[in-house]
Each structure stands twice: as C-alpha cells, then as structure tokens.
Amino acid sequence: MRHLVYPFLILCVLMGLLSAPAITHAETNSMAYDPENCLGCHGNKINLGTFGASPHGKNGCTSCHLQSADLKRHMTGAVKVEKVNCARCHGNEAKEFATSVHADKGLTCASCHNDIHSMTSKKDDKKAIMAACLQCHPNEKDFLTSVHGKAVMKGSKDAPDCSNCHGLHNIKKIQPVSTVAGRMFHVDACIKCHSDEKMMERNHVNPAAAETYLESYHGKGYRLGMLKKAAGCSDCHTAHNVLPAADPASSVNPANAAKTCAQCHTKATALFAKFYAHGSHSDRENYPLLFWTFKAMTGLLVGTFAVFWLHTLLWMFRGFVENREKQKALFEGHVHHVEDPHKLYYRFKKRHIFLHFTVIVSFLGLSLTGLPLKFSDQPWAKTLMSFYGGIEYAGLIHRGCAILTFYYFLGALWMSIDFLFLRRDIRGNFLQRMFGPDSLMPNFRDIKDVIGMVKWFFFKGPKPTFDRWTYWEKFDFIAVFWGMFAIGGSGLMLWFPEFFGQFLPGWMFNVATIVHSDEALLATGFIFTVHFFNTHGRPEKFPMDFVIFNGQMSKEEFIEERGDQWKRYEDQGITENFVCDKPSSVWYDFLFKAFGFLAVFTGLSLAVAMLYAFLR
C-alpha cells in the first residue's frame, strides 16, 4: 500500500491548488492549501465545519502556517514549526496590542482568542467579551451583577461590556487614582456614554447626569484636564459594581452615601451626604429650591446690569457731547476761570489708598482664578489654569485672595465704626454722622442727584454738583458689604464643607454654589464694565483717574466735580486743611500708574473673555 501514498499526496496537492484562493504574502509567495486536505492528518484536532464557520474559514491553512507551504518538507518534518504571526493580517490590532498592558505581561492573541480554529467574532458579542475578560479577572465578577452587567446579559446593545471602558486591544494600565491620568480615566470611561442623552433616555437613565457632573466643581476640574483630588464618577458609583441608588448594596444608597463621601471628606455626616450630586437648577420639579435660587440670582444679575449699563451708555454719550461743548467754549474764549487751578488737595489718606490697593489685588486674583473655573469649557480657561499649574494651585491663590478680601472688609468695617462713633473731627450725633454729607450711607440727597443726572443725560438740566460722595460711589461701597455676605458666606461654605456639613444639610452647598457663582459673575461684570467706566472710562476722566493711587486732586477738578463739597468746606473755613504739601514723586506716579493700567487692562480682558464665552 505504501506505493499508493505519493499518488494520493499529489492528488491532494492538486485539489488544494485548484480550490484555495490566491495569497499575496511576500514572505511565501505560495498558495494556501485547502483545509480539507490538511485535515487528512489534523482532523483529530480541527473540525472542518467549525473552522469553516469561523472568521478564518475562508483562508487556507498556509495563510497562517507559512512553513507548511512546502508540503514535502512539512510531511517529512523537516520544516521548523514557527509561531503564527497574526499581525500579518491584523496590523492595526497588533499595533494597539503591542502598547497594551496585556503585551507587557506576556500575553498573546491566543490568550483571549484561545481556540483560533473554532472561534467566533467577539466584536459585537458583548457576552463573549465579558467571558473572555473574566477568565483572567475573576475578581471583577461583581460586574455581572451591576446594572451594566445585567443589561449586557439581557442583550442590550447600549450596555457597556469590559471593552467599552477599557478598549479591546489597546488596553492601558490603570494609573493610581492619586494621579491626574488615573482619576481622569474614572470619568473618561463613563462620560462618553452618559453624555449621550438619547441613549440615556431610551434606557431610563438620568439624561442630565453627565451635564450636572460637568457643572460641579469635580466636573469642572475634569473639563480643565487637571482632575487630581476632585472626585470622578467611579469614586462615588464604584468602577464595576454600579448599582441603582435604591439598591441597599449601592454605594450611593442614602444609607451608604455618608461612607462613600467620607472616602474624600473624612468628616462627612449623614447631613453632609444630602448634597445633590446631580441636582439641576433647570429641573423645577425635582429641585425647586435650586430652580428658584437660580431664578432669583439671574433676576438680580439681569436687573443690575440693565440699569447700570443703560446708565453707562447714556453717560458715555452725554459726556462726549459735554466735552465737545467745552472745546467749543475754549475755542471761543468763554472759559470759567479758577484761581490757582492746579493747586493740589487731599481727597484720600494713605490708609484709604492702601485699602483700595488691597481691593484691587484681591479682586483681580479672585477673578483670574475663579472665572476659569466658572467657564471651564473655554479654551482661555484651560490656558489660565495651565499657567497656574492646575486647579489645586489656582485654589490656593483663590483662597489667599479671599483672605485679603476678609481683611479689607474688616478694615472697611473698622473705618465705619471709627467714623460713626470715635472720630472727634466730625460734628453731629450718630444719625447726623450716618446720613451726613461725609457719610457713605445713601440718603435723600442721592435721590435728588440721580434725578439730576437723568435730566442731564437727556439735556433737560445741568449736571449735578456733588458733595464728597456720589450715589454710584456709595453703591460701590455698600456692594462690599452685600458681596461679603453673598460671595464671602457662600465661599466659606464651599471652602470648609465638612465643618458646615456638621449642622447644615448637603443641599445647602448646591445653593451656595449657585449664589457664589452668580454673585461673582455680577461682581466681576459690574467692576470691569460699570465701575471702570464710572471711574476711568467716562469722557471727562479717560483713560484713568489717578486720585485713588495718590489721593490728590487739583483745585479745578475739586470745584468741577465736588462743587457742593468745596462750597461746604469754604463755609466751614477748612479748605486749607486739605492742601497737599507737595505732589507725589515721579517714581511713585510711574509705578502706580503702570499698576493701574495693568489692572484695568486685565479686567477688560476678562470682561471680553466672559462676553466671548456667553456668545459662543
């Protein structure tokens, strides 16, 4: 019978050549043999039916087993058996796998695709992918009982399997959560699905979960690409054992919420855990308190800007006309003469100048570090945060400037007490001091001045002659006190949440966030537009009023702007008490003017950035 073997082999070769598709691999330049022929010897290990149904069923054996192309040498065992190189056909997958954590651990394609001859495609088979992963990761079997795992087992196409979070071939090593990369992954893996509102709605999952997270402090850190200490999704919901809040075993169940919060906030209480992690101020039905707080703050913001921006526009136009009238009068020789017009008088003392300097530094510091957090989705916000070194360092600067704010608030409070009760150079009792001409407390005179300015805006009367303080200056001063209660109070709550969480419910932090954010927006928008115009930008002062930096003003300016104050001082015979001995030095003027222009430029740049963010 032996003499019949070679004719039979030749017949097999001819049949393989006729039936096998052409292979163009440069390594062999040969033909792939029909599996049916090879199974004459390998049929005990490979089933022709299952192999034909597999993704590789259309290939010949020598498409993978290159060394078998020389059949004669293969039959005699002279060919060295080589490992199959899957990269010859699966180049992209091989490149991804080469940099994966699995390749670092010595795994190969066959580690997951273990029966290569009978395998089925795992690409769209979520159950098969989970099964393959659990072979090596049995400790993650909790995933099967999670909301995600159960949905996969029910056949949901939307439900995530292991590969949706970790990838198929380019699986990277999970970095420690103490690193930025590690913590970012704990959000990246979740956000790509949960930001798809349509997918969430058809699966009866909160469609606003991703949006509300991104609007939180934690989410803003993620948006800025610098999340290190702030919580990611899995810090609260866990990575694999994600369960609905109603499940007693869930990490976010009310009974377990305080323990979950305590992972980061070590002194978290049950009250603290009442924080609305995904509370939305646009959801009136579920979060009415947040809804009405936001409406109230928005109303305050819109109302304030509407009034003062209109005031600014009217003043800008009327001031321009007045300057033209002065130029015409000067040209025609009709000029009101003031004797010794350049003689200098004190308007502010050194303590006032220092306090205002502190206000500028603290306010700009708070704005430069706070606005990027509020507008965390903007490119300029990411640039600023990168400049600071991340939100952690920005937070340190922000809190340092907040301490300065409390300092100047206490300074203003002490000066007010001194003015009302202690100073001996001011006449009158408490009420006379409180509502007198030297006081910053609004009075009936201010109503008269407001009406006079409006008439002047519309060419219905002369410009009012003010006393020591104008109504807009009084508004700025009182805003310090209002701002400290609104911004300062809410800021302290957000700075020390564990302390306030001992006696306040967690949802108060949601309210504090809205108040702090919107009141800060009101303050920055007002200072960088209205206050800058009232002080520096109005036509009669442009480009800058330097009086707040050196405390000095000329006699001509004094009479023109504070006519009633000058007349009152003359009647009291005290005008000479405010004469400056000498003007400030050149270097002092140069340095502080440079600082003043830098401050104004910074504020205006932030105003433009905010406007850009709203218009995008």
Domains contained in the chain, CATH given: 2-82 (no CATH), 89-171 (no CATH), 336-615 (1.20.950.20)
Residue 258: strand, helix, or coil:
helix
* Encoded tokens for 206: 């909160």
pLDDT of residue 180: 78
For the chain, what is the largest distance between any 2 Cα atoms, rounded to a whole number of angstroms?
140
Residue 382 has pLDDT above 80, yes or no: yes
**Could you tell me the pLDDT band of residue 420, with boundaries at 50, 70 and 90?**
very high
Amino acid identity at 353: I
pLDDT of residue 268: 95
Cα(580)–Cα(447) distance, rounded to whole angstroms? 33
- Its pTM stands at 0.84
Query: Residue 351, CB half-sphere, CA atoms under 13 Å: how many?
Result: 5
**Could you tell me the pLDDT band of residue 16, with boundaries at 50, 70 and 90?**
very low
CA dihedral (289, 291, 297, 299) positive or negative: negative
pLDDT of residue 77: 75
Is the preceding peptide bond at 543 cis, omega within 30 degrees of 0? yes
77-105 burial: b if 16+ Cβ within 10 Å, else e: eebeeeeeebeeeeeeebebbeebebbee
pLDDT of 140-199, one tens digit each? Answer: 888 999 999 999 999 999 999 999 999 888 888 888 877 778 888 889 889 989 999 999
Cα(440)–Cα(352) distance, rounded to whole angstroms? 14
Residue 21 has pLDDT above 80, yes or no: no
Residue 17 has pLDDT above 50, yes or no: no
**Could you tell me the pLDDT band of residue 616, with boundaries at 50, 70 and 90?**
confident
3-state helix, strand, coil in the chain (%, to 5): 65, 0, 35
- Of 186-190, 360-364, 443-447, where does mean pLDDT reach its minimum? 186-190
Cα(245)–Cα(237) distance, rounded to whole angstroms? 9
pLDDT of 61-74, one tens digit each? Answer: 888 887 777 777 77
Residue 25 has pLDDT above 90, yes or no: no
**Could you tell me the pLDDT band of residue 33, with boundaries at 50, 70 and 90?**
low
- Of 58-62, 278-282, 361-365, 419-423, where does mean pLDDT reach its minimum? 58-62
Residue 9 has pLDDT above 80, yes or no: no
- For residues 354 and 480, the model is more confident at 354
| Mean pLDDT for all residues in the chain | 88
Among 479, 493, 490, smallest CA distance to 524 is for 479
